[in-house]
Amino acid sequence: MERKALQNVFGQFASGVTVITCTNAEGQPHGATVTAFTAVSLEPRLCQVTMTRKSKACGFLDHSPFAVNILAADQLDIAMHFAGRPATPGPVWADGPTAPILCGSAATLSCTPWRSYDGGDHIIFIGEIVDAQASGKPPLLYYRSTFHDLGDPSVDSLWTLSADDPHSGWFDSTTTFTPFHLTNSGQPA
């Protein structure tokens, strides 16, 4: 398969847009726009970012704290700024618990380094989340090489089409359950 064809297939997956922030060798704030971000674990609290080996930020993240700034829908200029098209005015920074953070994001995860792995032409960084904040703003999305906003919901309810839908699923909203070990007067079943 050719590289461009594979990139087009990867582009079918809609993702959020993040800017990974850290400090450079001089201690100055640095960031890179990244769509390869995912939650990994709740216990321990871990997330993953994947960065191309060619990026400056990739070199700064090795064994260093970082922040994942999940961009809000109104931060397209910030996404472009950190993707190599500087905007004026530039980003507004704040001191975060582990690394500099961007003001105005939909959410921010502050991380300490946990592990890194060889990912071919990328490096996979796993961060342990020490602080997480959400603003409630809608996120910026990336799909088929284009930025999007969330738009209108495609369904009326979070539960629609779910087997656990309290209105049409297996169980209604008044159903209660008794653990097996408490059946037959508390005797194991």
Domain of 120, CATH number, reads 2.30.110.10
Residue 183 falls inside a structural domain: no
Residue 164 falls inside a structural domain: no
pTM of the model: 0.79
Domain that holds residue 142: 3-149
pLDDT tens for each residue of the chain, 189 residues long: 798 888 888 888 788 999 999 999 899 999 999 999 999 999 999 999 999 999 888 889 989 999 999 999 999 999 999 999 998 888 999 999 999 999 999 999 999 999 999 999 999 999 999 999 999 999 999 988 888 888 777 666 555 556 555 555 555 567 677 776 676 655 554
How is residue 14 annotated by DSSP? Answer: -
For the chain, the domain total comes to 1
Residue 47 falls inside a structural domain: yes
The closest of 48, 42, 45 to 15, measured between CA atoms, is: 48
Residue 98 falls inside a structural domain: yes
Alpha-carbon Rg for the chain in angstroms: 21
